[in-house]
Amino acid sequence: MECTRCGACCVAPDIAALDKPLGLRCPHLTEDNLCSVYERRPQVCRSYEADEVCRRIEAPTLEERVRKYLDLFGLAAEAEAVSQGGCGSMRAARKLRPGDA
């Protein structure tokens, strides 16, 4: 499957190499959903390949794609706790449990 450059993989999952918590937009993702550090992106980003998940979360907007991703993996409550807790890092997000925020 070819990457559609939708940006969901830069928002929905946590990215430890960037200290990016679950469900929060990567600080390097531009408004047009492209990576501003593409040439210097971490290996985890370089090795990611579009797959069946990308097809399953297809939607008109980035917000809808992220919601579908989180729902697919049962992570919506955890992502909500992270966003409500104002976590700016994975370290802080890991201290939260769903319902703690």
Q: What's the pTM value of the predicted model, to 2 decimals?
A: 0.84
d(CA 69, CA 11): 10
Question: Cα Rg for the chain, rounded, in angstroms?
Answer: 13
Per-residue pLDDT of the chain (101 residues; tens, 9 = 90+): 889 899 999 999 999 999 999 999 999 999 999 999 999 999 999 999 999 999 999 999 999 999 999 999 999 999 998 888 877 777 776 676 555 54
Tokens of 21: 């918590």
